[in-house]
Each structure stands twice: as structure tokens, then as C-alpha cells.
Chains A and B, each alone.
Chain A
Amino acid sequence: MLWAYFYCYQLTLDAYKKDDGFTDCETPAVVYHEQGNQVVQANSQAIKEGVECGQGLAQAAALCPHVHILAFNREAEKETLLFLAHRIYPLASDIVIDSHNAIAIRLDNLLQYYGGLDALWHVLINELHSAGIHFYFSTAWGVEAARLLAHNKTNSYTDNKESITLLLSRCKLEQTSLDSKTIATLAKVGVRQVGQLLKLPIHELGQRFSNDTIRYLTALRGETFPKYVLFRPSISFQQTKTLSFEVENTQHLLPSIKTLLVTLEHYLRARNLLTSSIFFQVHFREEEPLSIEVNGAMPFATQKDWLALVELKVETLLLPEPAVAISLTCQQFEPIKNDGNDLFSHRFTTVAQKQLIGKLKAKLGDDSTLHPKAGNSHAFEGMTVNQVEETTPAYTADMAPAFLFLQPMPLNLATRICFGPIRLQTQWWSGTASKKDYFIAETSHGVRLLVFKDAKACWWTQGVYS
């Protein structure tokens, strides 16, 4: 067997660069892994400034104050890799997604179709380069050996066994897939290179190490071939895009949405499919993701058609905080049918009530339908609130008037105070601080009013009781 292994060491940076016209030589940029507090990817400009993978964010920022920082997201990398696998799938059948950032391709069963290793290699490399991906690569008799050589940045392809053995023996143990504990144990007895390890008698190793370790070593030597799960193209579309900067203005989301829709269009066209429903999620640093469902009156595939609908939706979109990523999912597909697709057939029957509300919401905003509720506030303005959600806890609103004026009106009628005062001194945090003494006053006609006296001792009517 002969396997090629591609270790894509800066997938996040590559995806970022591709989508945003970001050029490597301009801005230093790093990918930061929050859990491990370390830089995991750095572009050439950042490396020039002294930033290295494995450094903490503080050190990286101290070395390169203007560094652009992207958050590491394993799932996003995985998606990029899956997209890459989809792209290569027409060229090679046996593909193994080896981790969130590496891909292995079996070569030996393809050689006959391409007329030799060189030709096959060029086809694969061209495709990967056109996808804009940086990678280290190698070939070997199995995925394990090829992975080790690629991680060692061998960057050569060969099917010569002696050469592969020689290259393997020079690798450091840290680059193997042995667990860190085993590597540390071996280092403690001075074994640091693969060559040293492979020379040790297997029975002596067997007395000291686990079966998994022995299995890995035999696979590395090409004596056994573990089973690999081969890639199969998925039946739904899902892709996330990390935004290159935190977006506050919803209009700035559109270029990224467009990129996602272009990818969707590629996906649909390759499969001869259409869709009538797509689903966006806008991700934030602290808030829960915001979900947006966009339904088309009829199925289509082109990004142009979808973008027109999405733009409507985005017009009314309000972001609770700057967005950091956006994802697009599509799970319902329909095959392209030419028959009966005329302009007027079934036009009105498919539009259900919910679709109508959906369209209204797309045009008028999500808050176009409201429920009145008792609010959790001392202020009369907040005692009754209109809310979209129905989850607010019940409070009494016994002092709230039936009708509350949008703007208070000067009190001109002769009235008699029958309840009060209620002194309110809240909302200082919202910049609308005021001190008001509220009363319930009754007119000579028996109408009860909510009135208040402001700081200048002027009297105002705020509402009317039923």
C-alpha cells in the first residue's frame, strides 16, 4: 500500500485569508487556542516578529502588539477539511479524515488510472493548491508512517521503502502518535528518536509498554495495517465561517454570507439539487447564537436568488453584540425537475400561514408580533411590557393604569389625590434618571388618573385607570 498524508497546519489562517482577501505578507496574524492559552497558528509576518506556536497570548502580544488574533475553533477547521475532502473526492476514492487538520489519501489503487505516481501527485497537489491550503506532506506504506513523516515536515513523495525507513528513523518521538506519557517515559531512558525505538527488541518493549503502543509501532514499521474509516460525502450541507473582525453593522455580514452561499451553490450544483429552506446562525462571543431561517417560496440553488431573500432578513436584523462567526446549514433538498416548473403552477397552495408570518417577520422584523405581559420593573412604563417570548415570570401590575400615554401630558383638570405618593428614583443606569412622585388622582367626573409631580413641581398626567 502507499498512502499520502497532508497535514494542513494552518487551516484557520488559510480559510480566513481565502475569504477576506487577506494577504499573508501584510498583517501579522495568529490563531489562539483559548483552552490551552497558546498560539497554535502564526503567519509568516507574525513569525518574523518573534511569535511562535506554543506561546501564550500575552507573550505573543508583547512581541507583536499589532497582531491580528483569530480564535481557534476545532469544529470550524473540521468543516473546512470536510469541504476539502468533498473537493478531492472526485479525484480519489479512499480518503481518510485523520484529525481536524489532516487528510490521508490512498495512492496505490489509483496509480493505474493516472499512469504513475508523478502524474497522480501533480493532480492532487494542484487541487490542494487551488483550494489555497498550506500543508506538509509525505508518502509511506501506511497512514501512521505517512502521518509521522508529514508531521516531520518531510515534504517528499516516494514509494521507495529504504528511503521511507531512513526518513522514519530520523524523526523525533514527539512527532509520533504515541501518547505523551509513553513519549515522556521513553525520554526518561534516553530514547528520543524513532530510529532508537525501532531498534529495541520488541519483547523488551512488550514487558514495559501497553498493547496500543506495540500496535502503533508495528503499524509504523508496516507490519500491520489498521482499518481506517473512509470519507463519505455527507447528505446535508453545513459550514461555518469565522469573521475576520467583529461585525456590529449587519450589512458587513453580507460578504461572508455571500461566500457561504457560493459554497452552497457549488455543493448543490455538484449534486444537481435545489433547496427551499436554509438556516443561518450568527455566533457571538458571549451571547447565545442568533438563528435565522430563510424560506424560499420555491426551491433554488444560486447564491444570487438566496442573497436577495437573505438581504431582506438582514435589513431588520439586530445584533445583541458584535458577531464573531456565521454558519449556514441546509438539510432539505429537492432534485431539479424540469417538468411542471412553470410560472403559475401551485403558486398559492404552498404558502402556509407560518410562511406568511415568516415573510412578514423577514420584512418587518421579529418583533412585529407581540404579547402584553406584566414586567419586572418599578417604573410604570415598565410595569406592562410587550414581549415576543412568553416566558416572563408573572408579576402583579395592580398599580398599573389601563392606558399609559406614550408621552406625559400636563395636568390641566381639577383633581383630588386619592392615593400616593409613590416615589420612583430608578433608571439612573440607563441615563434617564429622574425623581418623580406618582399619585392616583380623581377628576370631578370620577375618572382616575395616574399623575406625577416632577422635580420642578410641575404636574403631569401619565395614564388613565379603567
Chain B
Amino acid sequence: MYSELFCQSHYSFLTGASSPAQLVTTASFLGYEALAITDECSVAGVVRAYAEIEQQKLPIKLIIGSYFRFDDALSFVLLCPNKAAYTELCRIVTNARRRSQKGEYQLAEWDLRTIRHCTLIWIPSTQEEKDNYWATWLTSLPNIKTYIGAQRLLDGYDHRRFATYTQLQEKFEFPILACTGVLMHHTDNLPLQHVLHATQAHTQVSKLGRAALSNAERSLRTVSKLKKLFPEKWIFNAIDVARDCLFSLAELRYQYPSELIPKGASPTSYLRERVEAGIKVRFPDGLTDALRALIEKELSLIREQEYEYFFLTIYDIVQFAKARKILYQGRGSAANSIVCYCLEITAVDPRQINVLFERFISKERNEPPDIDVDFEHQRREEVIQYIYEKYGRERTAIASTVISYRFKSAFKDAGKALGFSESQLSFVMKQINRRDSVIPWQSQLANLGLDPANERVKHLISITEQLLGTPRHLSQHVGGFVISSGPLYELVPVENAAMPERTIIQWDKDDIETLGLLKVDVLALGMLSAIRRTFDLLNMQFPIGVDIPFITKLGDDKQVYDMICQADTVGVFQIESRAQMSMLPRLKPRRYYDLVVQIAIVRPGPIQGDMVHPYLLRRHGKEAITYPSEEVKEVLSRTMGVPIFQEQVIKLAMVAAGFSGGEADQLRRAMASWKKDGRIFEFKEKLIKGMVSRGYEASFSNNLFEQIKGFAGYGFPESHSASFAVLAYVSCWLKYYFPVEFYVALLNSWPMGFYTPSQLVLDAKRHHVAVHAPCVNASNYEHLIVEYKGEKQIQLGLTLVKGLSEKSANLIVSHKPATGYKNIEAVRTLAIRSDELEALASADAFRAIAGNRYQTRWRLMDKQADLPLFENTNNADTFKTAPSVAETLIEDYASIGLSVNDHPVALLHRERKLSFITPAKSLLQKNHKSIVKVLGCVTGRQAPSSAAGVTFLTLEDHTGNINVIVWQATSRAQHKTFLKAKLMQVDGIIERSKEGVIHIIAGKLIDRTPWLEDISMPSRDFH
């Protein structure tokens, strides 16, 4: 038997060369009794090791510990024999990490002096004088149980080490135990370790010299070999220390903050009280028996699983948001329950979607409930600060995200370490087409000057492959908070994030899930800002308060759905992208649940699984709705027999392929990480065989597997879609009934969504909303609604003026005289920087008081006007030049990113005879398959990976957007125009579906950019 007490995984970044899972699996295979995972000043890898042992039921004990280097002569391992020691270790790691910037640590002598419970294994340096000093120092700490960790590495220095160990033992009476200092699970990983080492040292493996490991002895070695290498006593000492370590991660119990519960109340009673109070708000007319039964069922399930604190924590956070009038929306597996509806965590009325709560909190799978709460993106920080203030920084931290090697970084680091020149690597990286499904990247190297038969290239390939998925560093999760009742560092070490004043724990969301800890996701969503701003504008005008429940209670509005079916959805939530807009007239949503499907269907999962077309056929009655079995019917009846949602495919794996609850859970996890580790393919055979043996067709099971792959990384469950659909509907409702308020709110919430302000303003104008350019006398900082002759119009704000600071804009607004500024000098007296005045002149914001742009600038350029004596000199009259219409347009785009007066294509239509060109809005009158010529600014070039070389061009003219499909052959033949044109004429054929979706199939592409010279339209190229 043997127990290894010093072992670093690849969570000792750029040092360890094996994963915790590989280490525990191999150690178990070799017959080790115990293995300590002791990453450097970190416990980031221990949960992975714990999960692997639990999952594979490995007969090995996991010991938690950490390795530290104090200076060049003192390094040691701390092990946790009990929970108190674990808490102590977390505190030491946290202190050392918090003293340093992200990714580093700094240990203090004080940290060591406070050790009471941990076992210390000292790794002497073999520098005699220093070792004696530290040995004396360690003996002065009576509370620490200290051992000497003896290493035998067959590197020519073992005799020196052994002499040191014996001398120290004789002099200071520290017992000696055997250890390796494992860095890899198998000797085969030595090249990988060398590459990681070289990367850390910013050099090449061949230049590491004696700093590199000279052999692979720092791997997990067989017990028989270890017995030959070490005296028996030292091995027994290691086993004894391991046997004294009784702490397991299973002991960790997460305690929710107790202050949430008022004195005298229990979590259960308080949750019930809050739910009952919520019922009165949500169901003023009282509950039906069915709903009451559902609430009771949910509450009892929550009580059984002891999740009351979780729901109450989120309840507390959303109550804060509500009090501050910050709009929010809960989503996630547990969010769409009736309890969450009553607690006002979500606005999704559970009566509208037929979802079962058990699906969200699964007793069988023992998963924690998942509730993400989106807040207004411009105000999420207020919520975060509230959490920090309420629970204190000691008890609150954000979960980490492990940043791992991806292809580019792996290829680059491996190449650099192997001595390839950077210019060659960057050339090859740019040329490799990772989307090529026919020729893998390894084979493409041959065409790029790297001979795959060459030894060095072989190493490059194999090490790049090994590096993929290896962690590089910890980063901050987008918004997952962990809050505890006591100091968080007693549960898990906390370290600094890159962002100032932010701390992260050393575990990521998977680790948190493994240990059953609960995290609260506080996320940001731009559309919530826009909707809240629209509500504010409406509530200023109308006595009835408008909010999300108000709109959802009105039920499905026919006119709003008519608008949706016409794909008039620029600016609304989720269903605004080009792909979504093309689908809307086909799917024709008429009620809330249709939107839930609509949002989920335009995703890689259903598209790759070939589920879209069958769904449309069935929806429009062109194909009979059939089910291969009753079990499948139960799962798929909501979506007409076609799997659309992530939950459905997982459920199908259970009912149709015979997956157990645990296996389905593993499948779900594999889906989330298949790009990293490809584990999903382990399930392919089982899934297909399982389904075929139960009488399902092979094509059905193959499609299902393809869909599972499509969901991976882009998982989109029904519960999320249900929450998003509410916001999609609300934003459509607002756009239809209150377009002016909606556009103003949307523009004030920008950046967000899919469209630029220019495109939003064009859309507003298409809806007959008048828009005015920024003006020093008419604008505020933000965009405004103004009334002109009883008609509501949009006055754009000074925020659009590029180069004008918020401070100066507010100064101009706050000092504006009641009758407005009379002349440019009045604005100059506000001591605004000259470049900001020029920015205002460029935006033509002085047009009301200083003539055209050229005259304004000529006056601003006069340096004498700055001198008091010359203040009122007015020589603008001597300067008569005026910009042309085209110049005005160019300046509009350059200064505020849009033009309220004109569109380049409209200008061209006026200046040139372009009767042969069909504008976007006239395409509807053209026949299917007829030849047309269209002209527009190229505002988007999208080449989705699923579209096999096809590029989707979006051309914008003054009447709308034109969707152009360019086949690969066309783009190749005319690549000059295809790549260069900012203004493009496309001669092509109209393709109009029965539902009225229009695409132009490009034939000839003509670059018309010279017509515009230097107009610059923003283009979104090749996502």
C-alpha cells in the first residue's frame, strides 16, 4: 500500500500536467490507499477529483491539501486531517491570495504561526544553512505537526537529499515520510509538462536546460517501485498520515445567511408567509383549487429538499430591485414555478405554460434548483452592491470560471515552446479552417508548409491536442454569487479577480453544483432597461400603472401578433435577428406559447437536428402529428411531436433510450462541456442502440443525437425560453402601441440588442415617427419625446454626439437659458473644451444659432474670439461656403452615426436616374423568380457555420432592409466586389416564400462604393 501526499494537478497552472480526474483514476488503478491533491496555494482541483471518485466509485481516499512556496528555501504542503484544518487551509490560501494581484500569492510568516490543525510536510531545499534555519523556526511552532517530505527523483541528487533528510531528522527529530511531488499521472505526459514549463518561463523546451525535469519520475509510480526507492518506514509514515486525514468534501454544509428569516419564524413558515402575501397580489380574485394544490405541492417539495433559503435569498434580492424600481426577470429551471410567480421572481404566469415543477427540482437527480435573475443592464451594479453591503464582502464572492486552452492558444503556446517562429505560427493559425468538417486541422498543416511526418510537427499536433481543455487561469463568472452564513473563506478560498474590488472563489459552477452549494445568478439584460424606461415614459403620461404583469394579463393581442407575423420586429427582444425575422412569417406565432417555441427553434439544436421543417409542416397541418410511442407523446405533445427544447431531448433519452436519471444527468453535463472534452460521444452508441432496441427508427435516433450535439454549448431550455418569450411579447406590445416611447427608451438603453441607433431611427421613420437631430437648444443629454402640433416625436439627445462628454452635455443642458442659447459665444462661456465644441459643430447641434456646419466651425476656429476684447467679433459673414447635401449626409453619419434627414441610397436615387433599381419596400410587388436589381449599403455579412459556405448579406436602403443570399460560387467568382463593396448593387432573382419572406439570390454583384466616395456605414462582418 502507499499514500501519495504531495501531488499537483493542472490546477497548479502551467506546472501540473494531468487533470485531477486522471490523477485519482491512475492512483486508484495503481493501488494507492490515498491521494492528496495539493495544488499550489489552491484547492481549485479538489472538487473535480472528488466528483471523479464519487462518479466512478473509485476505492481511494481523497485528501485535501495545498502546496506553498514561502521563499526559495522553504516549501511545504499543508494537509487537512479534519474540517477545522480545512477551514484553516482555506483561510491561509485566501490571505495569501488576497495580498497579491490576480493569479499570484504571497505567504506571510504570520500565516504559518496561526496553524493549529493542518499537518505540515516540509520539503527541504538541500541548502544546508537555510534548511537548518527553517528547521529551527519550524520547531518553534509547537502546534504544528511537521514531517519531512522525502523525494527520490533519480536525477543524480538523491544522495544529497537523503543525507539532508537524515541529518535534519537526527538534529530536529522530524519524522520522515515518502512523497513524490507528482506533476503528471503518467510518464507519457512528460513532454506536456515540459511545454507547460517552457510556456511559464516564456522560453522554448530546448532552452529550459537544467531547469526542466530531467525525467518522468514526478509521475504516479507503482507501489513496488516506490518500495524499492524508499525505506519502508518512510512509506509507512506516509500511510499513517493519510489515515489520520479524515476530512471529506462531503462534510461541507452550506449555510444560508440567517438574517433573511425574521426572529420567531422558521424558513418554512416565512416562505409560506411570503407566498401567501404574493398570492394576494398575483391572484386578487382568489385561487382555484388546482392552483392551490400546485402551490402546496411545490412548497412541500421545497421543504423536503430544504431549498427555502434559496428561494428567500432570491426573493430578498428581487424585493430590493423592486423597491429601487429596477426591472428584473427570473428564468431557469425553477424560476417558472408558481411559487416564484407568487414571490414575484418571475412574471411568467404558470397558467400560461404547462410546465411541471418536478421537472425543475428533481429529487431523483439531486440537482440544486436553477434560478437566474436578469436585471436592467444599466443598473445591475446597484444590485451587486446591495448584495455586498447586505452580506458583507467576507460572506459574498463570485463563482469563478476556469479559462482553459482553446485551439488557438494551445497551438500557439505548443508551437512557441517547440521553437516554431511566431510569424509562422500566426500564419498557420490564420489559414487553418477549423470549420472544415472534411479535412481536420491536423491534415491541413501539410498544405501550410508543416510536414506532418516531421517529428517536431508530430509533437506540435500531439501537444496541441493534449493542451486543449487544460486550465490556464481562473476568471470571473458573469454573475454567479455565492453567499454564506459565515465567512466564505471558511468554506472555500477566495482570491482577487482582475476587476478591482471583486473577489472570486476558487471553484466554478460545476464544482459548486457537485458539492450541492447554491449560487444566485445576477445577470444583466439590456432589454429590461429598455422596457423599464418605456414604462417610466408611459407612467408619466397615464394614470394606470403599466408593468409586465399588466401587459401579460391583457392576454394575447391579435394586432400585436399580426405585427409579429409580418416580422416587423426591429428592436424587440429575441425575435429581432435576421434568422428570427425570416422564421416569423413561417411559424406565424399567434399566442404566448408560440413565441416560446419561436425563440427556441431558431437555434443550432433544432436546426442541426433537422427539426424545424417538420415542426412547420405539422403546425400548418401539412403533415400528420404522429408519435412513435405513448411515452414519446407525453414528452413531445406540446411541440407537435418534434423535440424543440433541451429538456425534451433529455427526457427522450430517458423514456425512449432507457437512460436512468443519473445517466440523463451525465448526458446533460456532457452536453454542456462536449466542446471541451468530447465526452458526449460516449453516449452516442447507448442512445442509438437504446432507441433502436425499443423500436424507434434509426433516423429518429440519429437526428436526436445530432440535436443533442447542437444543443451543446448553446443549450436553450424551455424554462429560459418561457421567460424570454414574456419579454419578447412585452417589447412587441410596447412597440405596437407606444412606438415613440419604445424607440426613445431603446435608444436610451443602447448599447444593446442587434441594431445600431441608425437602424433603429430608420425603423422609427418607417413607422412614421418624426426624429430630430441633436441640438444645443432642443436636446437633453438623453433622447426625449417632444410634442409638435399634437404629434409625439423623437428629439435625439446630445449623448449621440461623438466626442462630447456626458459632463459637458449636462452642463449645456443645465445652463440653458429659458429662451435657449442666442449665439455660439454663450455656449463658449461654459468653458467647454474646444474639441467638444467642434464635436457639437460637427453634429450640426449649433444650426439654430450659428448657421451651417462650415460657418460654425470657421467661427470656432478663430483664436482671437477666445480673447475678451474680441469676444463679439463676428466674421462669419465673410465665410460663405456651405456643405452640399451629400456632405451633410457624410457629416451626419460621421458625427452622430446616423442621419435624420436623408439616406445615402435616397440621395443617389435623387441625384442619379436609378429607375432600374427596386427599393426594398417595392420588392413585395415583384413576382416570385423575377429578376431584380437592388442597391443598398452593406450593413451585415454573416457566414454561419451551419450554412455550408453561403453568406447572408444585408443591404440597407432608405425604405428597408434587403436580404441577399450569396452562394459560395458567386462570392468566389466576384470576390473583389464581395469583399470590398460598402455600397452594393445586386442583380439577382427574387425568392419569395408563400409566407411572404423575400430573399434575393445574388447573381451579379456590382461595387457602387465610388458613388458615395467616403460615406462610412457600419458593417457587421462575418460573425
Contacts from A to B (Cβ < 8 Å): 50, 59, 62-63, 185, 188-191, 201, 204, 207-208, 285-286, 321, 375-378, 395, 399, 419, 421-426, 428-431, 435, 437-438
Contacts and interface: CB of A to CB of B under 8 A. Distances in A.
Interface stretch (B89-97, B249-257, B879-887, B945-953): B879-887
A207 B863 contact: yes
B209 A430 contact: no
Contact of B209 (A188, A377, A431): A377
Given A422-B154, A422-B155, A426-B212, A59 B980 contact: yes
A423 B154 contact: yes
28 contacts: A59-B980, A62-B975, A185-B857, A188-B838, A189-B879, A190-B881, A190-B883, A190-B887, A204-B878, A207-B864, A208-B862, A286-B422, A286-B423, A321-B421, A375-B209, A377-B209, A378-B155, A378-B209, A421-B154, A422-B156, A422-B214, A425-B190, A425-B214, A425-B216, A429-B194, A429-B418, A429-B456, A430-B206
A395 B419 CA distance: 24
Contacts of A59: 979-980
A10 B456 CA distance: 41
B879 A376 contact: no
B617 interface: no
A188 B155 CA distance: 73
B858 A189 contact: yes
A321 B215 CA distance: 31
B156 A189 contact: no
B875 A424 contact: no
Given A63-B976, A204-B878, A429-B205, 11 more contacts: A62-B979, A189-B854, A286-B421, A378-B210, A378-B214, A422-B155, A425-B190, A426-B214, A429-B191, A429-B194, A431-B455
B435 interface: no
A376 B209 contact: yes
Contacts of B308: none
Task: Tell me what chain B mostly uses at the interface: helix, strand, loop, or mixed.
Answer: helix
A62 B842 CA distance: 36
B975 A395 contact: no
Interface string B704-718: 000000000000000
B459 interface: yes
A208 B154 contact: no
A188 B842 contact: yes
Nearest to B422: A286
B604 to A, nearest CB: 28
The 9 closest A-B pairs by CB, nearest first: A376-B209, A190-B881, A378-B214, A422-B156, A423-B154, A431-B455, A423-B215, A425-B215, A208-B861
Interface string B189-226: 01100100000000001100110101111000000000
A204 B882 CA distance: 18
B418 A395 contact: no
Nearest to B881: A190
A424 B883 CA distance: 78
B482 to A, nearest CB: 43
Contacts of B212: 378, 426
Nearest to A438: B156
B882 A423 contact: no
A429 B192 CA distance: 11
Contacts of B862: 207-208
A59 B977 CA distance: 11
Contact of B854 (A188, A423, A426): A188
A50 B1009 CA distance: 14
Nearest to B419: A429
A349 to B, nearest CB: 47
Nearest to A51: B976
A5 to B, nearest CB: 28
B613 interface: no
A204 to B, nearest CB: 7
Interface residues of B, number: 46
Interface string B645-671: 000000000000000000000000000
A428 B459 contact: yes
A285 B421 CA distance: 10
Contacts of A201: 878
B159 interface: yes
A395 B210 contact: yes
Contacts of A50: 976, 980
Contacts of A185: 857, 861
A321 to B, nearest CB: 7
Interface string B437-466: 000000000000000000110010000000
A76 B568 CA distance: 60
A57 to B, nearest CB: 11
Contact of A431 (B159, B194, B422, B456): B456
Contact of B155 (A286, A423, A429): A423
A429 B191 CA distance: 8
B644 to A, nearest CB: 39
A154 B455 CA distance: 59
Nearest to A285: B423
Interface in B840-886: 842, 853-854, 857-858, 861-864, 875, 878-879, 881-883
Contacts of A190: 854, 881-883, 887
Given A208-B862, A399-B156, A429-B191, A424 B979 contact: no
Nearest to A63: B976
Nearest to A393: B209
Contacts of A188: 838, 842, 853-854, 857
A188, A191, A435, A437: most-surrounded residue (chain B CB, <10 A): A188
Interface string B821-853: 000000000000000001000100000000001
B280 to A, nearest CB: 64
A377 B210 contact: yes
Interface string B130-167: 00000000000000000000000011100100000000
Contacts of B214: 378, 422-426
A375 B210 CA distance: 9
A285 B427 CA distance: 14
B437 to A, nearest CB: 23
A116 B862 CA distance: 48
Nearest to B190: A425
A190, A286, A431: most-surrounded residue (chain B CB, <10 A): A190
A201 B862 CA distance: 14
